[in-house]
Amino acid sequence: MSHVFNFSAGPAMLPTEVMLKAQKEFLDWQGHGCSVMEMSHRSKPFIALAEKATNDLRTLLSIPKDYHVLFTHGGGRGQFSAVPMNLALLGDSADHLVTGSWSKGAVKEANNYQQANVVAQTVVENNIITLPDRSTWSFNPDAAYFHFCPNETVDGFEMDWVPDTQGVPVVADMSSTILSRKIDINQYGLIYGGAQKNIGPSGLSVVIVHESLIDKARDDTPSILRYDLIAKNDSMYNTPPTFAWYLAGLVFEWLLEQGGVDNIEAANKQKAELLYGAIDNLDLYSNNIASEYRSRMNVPFHLADPTLDGMFLQQAEQAGLKALKGHRSVGGMRASIYNAMPLAGVQALVNFMKDFEKRNG
């Protein structure tokens, strides 16, 4: 097998140890003579697996007892409509912060169900993308909740702080930031994320929701989206994505073996510093996100001469550096360096960037 470093934004690479374990257990899971994907979700072994995965996630994120952990269908985007439907009884409008394409997508979907007010959005100042001064933000004290996206996967814009909403519940789309850094769950009413960045295969999503928010759904909310029903049925109201749940469980075990979120955060910080250091110190590359908002997970960069983009991508691919093309809305390059990306992958990318500049700068 040829070895590559896979910088895909999502579905993203999974830890090699996890993939090898899944391969080993593929046909015969724990001596049951069949794959875990061929087993009833109501069977004892699967229920034990589901409980262990849930508890491991609770341990990793120090999730307090008064929060429910739900494993649901429909990815991150599924929650763009599940959230406004489930929280409808809290009020007729919600506040949204827009920092990139995913938070913008959440506004569009939420507007189907309620008034989604944009509190503030990112601005370009001297060609640098940043947030306007917080005194200019327009919070509504009667909002049902405040929604934001701590890490914008497409734009590479990450916030490491939670805005002060004066008691309005905070809802966060953590699809590409969950488990990458330490968070204080108590600051949030609800956290959700699609799995395919830092948790496992696509399709699955995780919802962490305070118990006071699970019975606020409008009556016509589809049953499979209702947090109260999902919680009451231990995320098995209907058949859950069992194989994805199994793989998520393996990823949680792997994270615990790495020493948990503190250790993985330190590793992520080191990887990001190395890559941004190269972007800032070399002449050919640039990133235009304000330094305090630079993402540790998704690092977009542009070449000073965009006519070299095609050659950069082609030669990177030949060097075993895969999926570096930027999102079509941003252009240039994007290196996604989630938890599973080893430091060696970022070192290889940085060496390639230096080399490419020498040959073409």
Ligand X SMILES: *Cc1c(COP(=O)(O)O)cnc(C)c1O
Of the candidates 75, 240, 241, 332, which one interacts with ligand X according to CB under 6 A? Answer: 75
**How many residues interact with ligand X (rule CB under 6 A)?**
13
Of the candidates 153, 180, 221, 235, which one interacts with ligand X according to CB under 6 A? Answer: 153
d(CA 71, CA 319): 38
Residue 300 touches ligand X, criterion: CB under 6 A:
no
Of the candidates 173, 183, 227, 299, which one interacts with ligand X according to CB under 6 A? Answer: 173
Residue 10 touches ligand X, criterion: CB under 6 A:
yes
Residue 32 touches ligand X, criterion: CB under 6 A:
no
When the beta carbons of 54 and 151 are compared against ligand X, the nearer one is 151
Of the candidates 32, 41, 77, 322, which one interacts with ligand X according to CB under 6 A? Answer: 77
With residue 335 as reference, give the H or E element that holds it: strand 333-336
Listed in sequence order, the residues at least 6 apart from 256 whose beta carbon sits closer than 8 Å to its beta carbon are 56, 59, 60
Pairing of strands 151-152, 5-6: unpaired
Q: Which of 95, 197, 245, 254 is catalytic?
A: 197
Query: Is the dihedral angle over the CA atoms 13, 42, 173, 55 positive or is it negative?
Result: negative
d(CA 266, CA 181): 8
Of the candidates 15, 76, 156, 326, which one interacts with ligand X according to CB under 6 A? Answer: 76
Angle at 344 between CA 342 and CA 350, to 5 degrees: 120
d(CA 211, CA 225): 16
253-282 residues in contact with ligand X (CB under 6 A) are: none
Residue 326 touches ligand X, criterion: CB under 6 A:
no
Residue 175 touches ligand X, criterion: CB under 6 A:
yes
For residue 33, the tally of other CB atoms under 10 A from its CB is 9
Pick the stretch among 73-81, 181-189, 226-234, 308-316 that binds ligand X (CB under 6 A). 73-81
Residue 156 touches ligand X, criterion: CB under 6 A:
no
Omega within 30 of 0 (cis) for the link into 84: no
Shortest distance in whole angstroms from residue 43 CB to ligand X: 27
CB closest to ligand X, residue no: 75
Residue 102 touches ligand X, criterion: CB under 6 A:
yes
Residue 227 touches ligand X, criterion: CB under 6 A:
no
Of the candidates 111, 115, 187, 202, which one interacts with ligand X according to CB under 6 A? Answer: 202
Asked if residues 180 and 165 have their Cβ atoms less than 8 Å apart, the reply is no
Pick the stretch among 18-26, 72-80, 222-230, 259-267 that binds ligand X (CB under 6 A). 72-80
Shortest distance in whole angstroms from residue 32 CB to ligand X: 30
Residue 194 touches ligand X, criterion: CB under 6 A:
yes
Phi, psi of 302, rounded to the nearest 5 degrees: -115, 150
For residue 14, the tally of other CB atoms under 10 A from its CB is 23
Q: Which of 56, 95, 155, 173 is catalytic?
A: 173
Q: Check if 197 is active-site.
A: yes
Using a 10 angstrom Cβ sphere, with 0-12 exposed, 13-18 middle and 19 or more buried, the burial of residue 230 is buried
CA 53 to each of CA 226, 241, 251, 263, 313: distance values in angstroms, whole numbers, following the listed order: 21, 13, 9, 20, 38
Task: Enumerate binding residues for ligand X (CB under 6 A).
Answer: 10, 75-77, 102, 149, 153, 173, 175-176, 194, 197, 202
Residues classed as catalytic:
102, 173, 197
